[in-house]
Amino acid sequence: MTKFGVHERPLPDLFADAAFDAFDDSGIEPPEIEALYFGNAMGGMTENDTHLAPTLASHIGCTGVPAQRFEDACATSANAFKHAVEAVESGRHDVVLAGGVERCTPETGLGTGAMTKVFVSAAHRQYEQPAGLTFPGVFALLTKRHMHEYGTTEEHLAEVAVKNHYNGTLNPRAHFGRETTVEKVLDSPIVADPFHLMDCCPFSDGASAVVVASEEAAESFENPVDVAGVGHATDVVPLADKDALPATQAARDAASQAYDQAGTTADAIDFAEIHDCFTGAEVMATEALGLFEDGAGGPAAAAGRTALDGDVPVNPSGGLKAKGHPLGATGTAQLVELTEQLRGEAGERQLDDPERAVAHNLGGDAATTVVTVMEARQ
């Protein structure tokens, strides 16, 4: 993956940086790639650039391969990855590239206000957009209900931001490299109650890519990791139709599928990369993934259980909060972190010999979730 942050370069060049890193890492050449599973969320609106998959295939030396764009809001590249895994699992392809790219910063794009307006296109067109329900509001509603039901506090949420900012200081590819404190989070301006500015992830530019290979093809790779399961579920939209707002039901369903495929349970997960677009989203996801009981996510974060030295580290990469959030690149970037941690190559933020990890990538008004379980090779 590229560093996340500001990249004033065309999308194809940015994606190529991630793709060539993936080729180099796996020791393969572009012509060996049989298909491209590619994600970009908002390039039509932000850059007047659609039908990007063939352009990128041409640009990275993979001309002619089946190449397709997935758009599932922020869960875009995890969904591309899911289909890449299915293509390899079914025997249709042996070696494919999955990844995504996006440019969202004010420097390369439309500016934060306009970008928020573009991104609200992923909320419900008839019921949520006319109400002015942009995404800080979507997740604020879910989180407020979580606070009401379980007693989660703004301090709990702030602890998530503090942890992820600290982890980001240890990740050279993170958008933000500075620590913060609970006081600073709580003193930052309110964006959508209960979220302060420092509860919110940034919009970033960036790209990420992974090579997905069959068991046989992977034998020539230096240090592969195993994809043990990929779950994918959606939830009813609009928000008003959901049975239980803070349950984030799609995450529960997708996790259940992924754990079943992997033959494992939440108890056996050593760490997680979670879609913390807002601090409250991380708290709810730790519960939906079964890492903590419902309602225990906030206190667990505040008690340090999700820190690098906790019993279930969450977002060792810094997460969306500190590593950054280039929409279509976020899903496969989580898988890059899983890969590097499971290999023991995560540098200063390396966890203690993890064997099994989970990634949680969420899209839209809590509508799409893709959950991936990966394991170190024994």
Q: Would you count residue 94 as binding a copy of itself (CB under 8 A)? A: no
- Residue 51-80 contact track with a copy of itself, rule CB under 8 A, x = bound: x-xxx-xx----xxxxxxxxxxx-----x-
The pair of three-digit structure tokens given for residue 238, joined into one six-digit string: 């609009």
Considering only residues 16, 42, 333, 338, which one is a binding residue for a copy of itself as defined by CB under 8 A?
42
Q: Which residue has the tokens 């709810």?
A: 284
Select 84 or 289, whichever has its Cβ closest to a copy of itself.
84
How far apart, in whole angstroms, are the C-alpha atoms of residue 291 and residue 255?
Answer: 11
Please choose, out of 14-22, 192-200, 226-234, 297-305, the segment that lies near a copy of itself by the rule CB under 8 A: 226-234
Please choose, out of 173-181, 228-236, 268-276, 329-337, the segment that lies near a copy of itself by the rule CB under 8 A: 228-236
The pair of three-digit structure tokens given for residue 169, joined into one six-digit string: 């200081």
- Residue 231-260 contact track with a copy of itself, rule CB under 8 A, x = bound: -xxxxxx---x-------xx--x-------
| Distance in Å, CB of 282 to a copy of itself, minimum | 21
Q: Would you count residue 378 as binding a copy of itself (CB under 8 A)? A: no
Strands (E), 194-311: 195-196, 205-213, 226-234, 271-274
* Residue 7 CB contacts under 8 Å (≥ 6 apart), including other chains: 14, 103, 108, 205, 206
| HSE of 143, CA atoms in CB hemisphere, 13 A | 31
Q: Would you count residue 112 as binding a copy of itself (CB under 8 A)? A: no
Asked about 175 being catalytic, the answer comes back as no
Scan residues 157-196 and list those touching a copy of itself (CB under 8 A).
none
| Distance in Å, CB of 98 to a copy of itself, minimum | 14
C-alpha separations of 346 from 275, 336, 354 in Å: 19, 10, 11
Q: Would you count residue 132 as binding a copy of itself (CB under 8 A)? A: no
CA 239 to chain centre: 21
The pair of three-digit structure tokens given for residue 252, joined into one six-digit string: 């529960």
How far apart, in whole angstroms, are the C-alpha atoms of residue 313 and residue 207?
Answer: 24
How far apart, in whole angstroms, are the C-alpha atoms of residue 339 and residue 329?
Answer: 16
Select 23 or 70, whichever has its Cβ closest to a copy of itself.
70
Report whether the peptide linkage leading into residue 238 is cis, meaning its omega lies within 30 degrees of zero.
Answer: yes
Q: Would you count residue 133 as binding a copy of itself (CB under 8 A)? A: no
| Distance in Å, CB of 101 to a copy of itself, minimum | 13
Considering only residues 198, 363, 375, 376, which one is a binding residue for a copy of itself as defined by CB under 8 A?
363
The pair of three-digit structure tokens given for residue 242, joined into one six-digit string: 């959901």
Residue 353 burial (CB count, 10 A): 10
Q: Would you count residue 34 as binding a copy of itself (CB under 8 A)? A: no
* Residue 241 CB contacts under 8 Å (≥ 6 apart), including other chains: none
The answer for 161, left when phi > 0, alpha when psi is -120 to 50, beta otherwise, is alpha
Asked about 62 being catalytic, the answer comes back as no
Which residue is catalytic, options 7, 83, 165, 325? 325
Q: Would you count residue 32 as binding a copy of itself (CB under 8 A)? A: no
Which residue is catalytic, options 62, 74, 104, 277? 74
Select 163 or 360, whichever has its Cβ closest to a copy of itself.
360
How far apart, in whole angstroms, are the C-alpha atoms of residue 58 and residue 76?
Answer: 21
Which chain residues interact with a copy of itself by CB under 8 A? 10-12, 41-42, 44-45, 47-51, 53-55, 57-58, 63-73, 79, 83, 86-87, 89-90, 92, 118, 120-126, 129, 232-237, 241, 249-250, 253, 363-365, 367-368
**Mind telling me the catalytic residues?**
74, 325
